[in-house]
Structure 1
Amino acid sequence: MAELSDLYFLREISQKDVSVINGWRNDRTIVSSLGAPFRYIDVSIDERWVDNYYSNRSSMVRLSICDTKTDVAVGVVYLLNIDWVARNCEFAIMIGDVNHQGRGIGEYATRLAVQHAFNDLNLHRVYLTLLEENTRAFKLYAKVGFKKEGLLRHAVFKNGQYLNLIQMSLISGEICVE
């Protein structure tokens, strides 16, 4: 069986990813497992979103998780709100292509992104929030080495109800090697 590094790679998001990402962001099933509420997003909004990213790259890293054969994005992974003084950032990931979910790509991309944060950007702490009900994501983050820090009660409103978020973080040197 091929290694994930032979099948997938990370690269900075580009305008060619916009239509694919926009499709995921307009898919209720995909958005349902994320902390953000569902909203309809026109592709022109996402085009401006990517342009805005390129204007503000000093405080974030937005990467596409791509299939090596096609160079098409199957997901995204982000390091956001980089604080260069406290040396921390927020982590986010989405495997948008359902045909590539459940294959270990999320763990692979998470490991690459946090290694980039620690080894290349010299950050010290990576933090994230996830829906309390998203046990699959919780297990992935724990496997990589993220530790639960707390519970944010009724922190998001989705599908007509308030939901809890779990706060987790990973400190440089704590990443679990597989």
Structure 2
Amino acid sequence: MNNDTIFLREIERGDLPTINAWRADKALVSLLGGAFRYVGPAIDNAWFDSYLGSRANNVRLAVCLASTRELVGVTYLLGIDWVNRCAEFSIQIGAESARGRGIGEAATRLTLDHAFDDLNLNRISLTVLASNARAIALYDKVGFRAEGLLREAVFKGGRYLDMVPMALLAADRR
């Protein structure tokens, strides 16, 4: 999957040091729903092995620049439910130089194309920090709809934060 700026490919074991460096960036992790955790190479390798064993229900994609092939982010479709044709979406643009350039939108659109057009999914959901206006604006732009508010749903930085659940149906695509 690609466009003029980026292409997507499945993550590889060789991507783990870069992905781990992003996980170690507290400022970056502060924008995401998950908690900050120190993750060593052995844990990353076990995580990757687990992914290889669960590929039937999970898609983990590397976001790469078309011009240099540099890994700049990841997108995931997790917990694919083949009966109900749904999955959970997440994205991380880890390379600071790739942020604010439309790469996140392009990667999101390409991942959604894959989800709906190749995998025949019907519903893609996500949760986003209510304070992450930039991410919410991106998700709204590509067609996701807010479905409520999860009050004090995550503990980050010593306090509880709200999350916004959002979803996109195949019939609602823009």
Q: Which letter maps to 1:55?
A: G
Match of 2:163 in 1: 165
Is the partner of 2:131 in helix, strand or coil?
A: coil
Matches within 5 A, 1:71-82: 71-82=69-80
- Distance in 2, matches of 1:5 and 1:123, equals 22
Match of 1:109 in 2: 107
- Distance in 1, matches of 2:107 and 2:55, equals 20
Matches within 5 A, 1:45-124: 45-124=43-122
CA deviation vs aligned residue, 1:107-147 (integer Å, no higher than 9, x gap)? 10111111111111011000000000000000000000000
- Distance in 1, matches of 2:92 and 2:65, equals 15
What is the deviation of 1:6?
2.3
Unpaired segments ≥5 residues, structure 2: none
Give the TM-score, by structure 2 length: 0.96
Percent identity, please: 52
- Distance in 2, matches of 1:77 and 1:43, equals 21
What is the deviation of 1:52?
1.2
Match of 2:7 in 1: 9
- Distance in 2, matches of 1:18 and 1:71, equals 16
Match of 2:19 in 1: 21
Is the partner of 2:101 in helix, strand or coil?
A: coil
CA contact (8 A) 2:11 2:62 kept: yes
CA contact (8 A) 2:5 2:103 kept: no
Match of 1:31 in 2: 29
Give the TM-score, by structure 1 length: 0.94
Q: Which letter maps to 1:162?
A: Y
What is the deviation of 1:70?
3.2
**1:153 equivalent among 151, 154, 164:** 151
What is the deviation of 1:53?
0.6
- Distance in 2, matches of 1:105 and 1:44, equals 30
Please give the root-mean-square deviation of Cα atoms over the aligned residues, in Å. 1.0
Is the partner of 1:169 in helix, strand or coil?
A: strand
Unpaired segments ≥5 residues, structure 1: none
- Distance in 2, matches of 1:142 and 1:7, equals 22
